[in-house]
Structure 1
Amino acid sequence: MKLGLQVVAFNWPGSPANTGRTLANIAHTADAAGFASLWVMDHYFQIDPGIGPASDPMLEAYTALSFMAGATERIRLGAMVTGVVYRQPAFLVKQVSTLDVLSGGRANLGIGASWYEREAVGLGFPFPPIAERFERLEETLQIARQLWSGDATPFTGKHYQLAEPINSPQPLSQPHPPILIGGGGEKKTLRLVAQYGNACNLFAFAGLDQVKHKLDVLKGHCDDVGRDYAEIERTALGVVMLGPGGMTPADLIGFCHGLASIGIQQFIFSIPNVYEITPLEIIGREVIEAVAAL
């Protein structure tokens, strides 16, 4: 099993004056510790309710990822996950392609149908009904695959029309940056994973039985569309708090054992006190190698 780190908040002591320095330190330490991937949320407001009030600091995802690319050498980088309504598809593909080229081939495209209506309305982004958001998500996935294939013939969809879908330079990742589709919706989201995705992302806190059920649904969709289920990386998302009142390294290893036993291959998590750096160093010393063989 691999471990990934998600940075979800930027309101640590001393911010915003030390935001860049602290974020670079987090990224560098996670890279050196052996984390497989590094993610930020694609939001403009902080999640409320959830992590903090909407007015808490939030960085634009692809600017932050590009910044972290310069502080790292090996770790993969992505947004967990981009809301499909926040960018035109070709612009999003260009952003991910640029990140991939500048990072030496380490970008992922994390994407979903969007859910944070307050944020969209607050900042004037379109927020159509959910059925349309899924239509836009599928067209965006089609556009990404076409642009990354080098096929410059016009794209004509219900919601998007591209007269010249040219993408240069193309990503270094081959055949293209891995596409992670976030969410566990059984009728639409997991079908899109089976049809277009390289990875799924499910909520670890839903419990092992529920995560296993979602994986079984995904496998059924793979069977329906003729996709090899083994081609799709199965990831889960959660929160880990090390220290008093939280988890020990042994607890985290045990939790990873449970996820691995039902087929999860990468556990991606946020750490509330990540800015202290020490939790990353502990996980690097005591956990990453211990779960690598799972």
Structure 2
Amino acid sequence: MKVGLELGEFVWDGGPAAMGRTVAEIATVADDAGYDLIGVGDHVWQGPHAGGPGMPQLECFTTLGVIAAHTRRCRLAPVVAGVHFRAPALLAKTVTTLDVLSGGRAVLGIGTGWDADEAAGMGIDFPPTAQRFAMLEEALQICLRLWHGDERPFDGEHYRLARPLAEPKSLSRPHPPIMLGGGGRKTLRLVARYGDACNVYPGPDLAEKLDLLRELCDQEGRDYDAIEKTCIFPFTVAEDGAGASELTDELHRLSAAGIDTAIGIVSGSDPVRQVSVIGDKVIPAVTG
């Protein structure tokens, strides 16, 4: 199994003045410790799970750029980009830039988004769920068209591009991997149709979700085994290592269930220490 991390909370020792240094230290420690992926949540407000909009939230792609500058091998991903935040061509350009500047390590994590209050508060359109799913499929088509060098006009229901042109092209070939967040039928169908990875929560219905993905892959003519199965949940390991054995057992269980990569949401006032402890006590036990 591979192990990644996500930065989802930013109440750290030192406050905003130390955030740049903290992000750089997390990146360096994680890269050296063998984490496979570093992700950043894509929000402009902090979510209710981490104290709500009064708590700090760093912008996703700016933070990933800092992480890219302080790593050599980790994959880099928004976990996951809300389709309503950016025009698809701008999203593709942003991910391509991250890919080029990181030496080919970018992943496009993308989904329909979920925080209506955040969107309303910040003046960002947040269409109904069905429309966001339609936008998501068109966004995926546009990203792939740009990455494949197809400059024909795109005339969709939600987006229109007269000339989908993007230079330079990504270093990742044939394109940066696409990871779709969500475990419902609509999302998993898009995984089967366009994705390279799924990203789900490891609840009691995990086996059902993976079975559904296999069924949808069969329908779409995709190789189920070629799709990376990832899951995301909080990694609760104390600074003294308490909880490491329990996390190790959980990761072994998820691996046996068919998960390839577990992405841990790290929290607490000293995330560098937590990332280091997990790298020391957990990663060697599950990746060996």
| TM-score (normalised: structure 1) | 0.95
5 Å matches for 1:147-226? 147-186=146-185, 188-204=186-202, 206-207=203-204, 210-226=205-221
Matches of 1:242 and 1:111, distance apart in 2: 28
Letter in 2 for 1:142: Q
Between the aligned residues of both structures, percent identity stands at 47
In the TM superposition, residue 226 of structure 1 has moved relative to its aligned partner by 0.7
Letter in 1 for 2:55: D
Matches of 1:89 and 1:99, distance apart in 2: 15
Give 1:18's aligned residue: 18
Unaligned runs of 5+ in 1: none
In the TM superposition, residue 243 of structure 1 has moved relative to its aligned partner by 2.5
In the TM superposition, residue 278 of structure 1 has moved relative to its aligned partner by 2.3
Give 2:279's aligned residue: 284
Unaligned runs of 5+ in 2: none
Give 1:42's aligned residue: 42
Q: Residue 242 of structure 1: SS of its match in structure 2?
A: coil
Matches of 2:159 and 2:271, distance apart in 1: 44
Cα deviations across residues 76-95 of structure 1 (Å, max 9, x unaligned)? Answer: 10100000000000000000
Q: 1:238–1:70: structure 2 CA closer, same or farther, 3 Å change rule?
A: same
Q: Residue 18 of structure 1: SS of its match in structure 2?
A: helix
Give 2:264's aligned residue: 269
Matches of 2:237 and 2:162, distance apart in 1: 51
Give 1:80's aligned residue: 79
Matches of 2:28 and 2:178, distance apart in 1: 24
Q: 1:171–1:126: structure 2 CA closer, same or farther, 3 Å change rule?
A: same
Indicate conservation of the 8 Å contact 1:274/1:280, yes or no. no
Matches of 1:276 and 1:155, distance apart in 2: 43
Letter in 2 for 1:16: P
Number of equivalent positions? 288
The CA RMSD measured in Å over matched residues stands at 1.4
Matches of 2:223 and 2:242, distance apart in 1: 36
Matches of 1:35 and 1:72, distance apart in 2: 11
Give 1:248's aligned residue: 243
Indicate conservation of the 8 Å contact 2:239/2:273, yes or no. no
Indicate conservation of the 8 Å contact 2:6/2:263, yes or no. yes
Letter in 2 for 1:234: K
Give yes or no for the alignment of 1:52 onto 2:47.
Answer: no
Give 1:7's aligned residue: 7
Cα deviations across residues 86-118 of structure 1 (Å, max 9, x unaligned)? Answer: 000000000000000000101000000111100
